[in-house]
Structure formats: structure tokens, C-alpha cells
Amino acid sequence: MSNDANRATDSQTLKLIGITTVAFIVIGLIIYNM
């Protein structure tokens, strides 16, 4: 059971990291194009 919980936490963390990375790239492109 703990293994499943750890897996869910890892996937959530990876999702957050991915969203944050995409957000930084988008903001960087907007600033770069200004």
C-alpha cells in the first residue's frame, strides 16, 4: 500500500515539475519576445 502511495506522490511531483518548467519556458519566451 505504501508503494502505491509513493508512486502517486512521485507522479504528482513529476507533473508539478513539468508544469513549472513549461510555465518558466512560456514566461521566458514572452519576455524574450518583448
Indicate the number of domains in the chain. 1
Q: Kindly tell me if the per-residue pLDDT of 6 is higher than 60.
A: yes
pLDDT of residue 27: 98
Alpha helices in 1-34 (DSSP H): 2-33
Q: How far apart are CA 26 and CA 2, in angstroms?
A: 36
pLDDT of residue 23: 98
**Between 6 and 10, residue with greater pLDDT:** 10
Q: What is the mean pLDDT of residues 20-34?
A: 97
Q: Kindly tell me if the per-residue pLDDT of 3 is higher than 90.
A: no
Do you know the residue count of the chain? Answer: 34
Parent domain of 10: 1-34
Does this model's pTM top 0.85? My answer is no
Q: Kindly tell me if the per-residue pLDDT of 31 is higher than 60.
A: yes
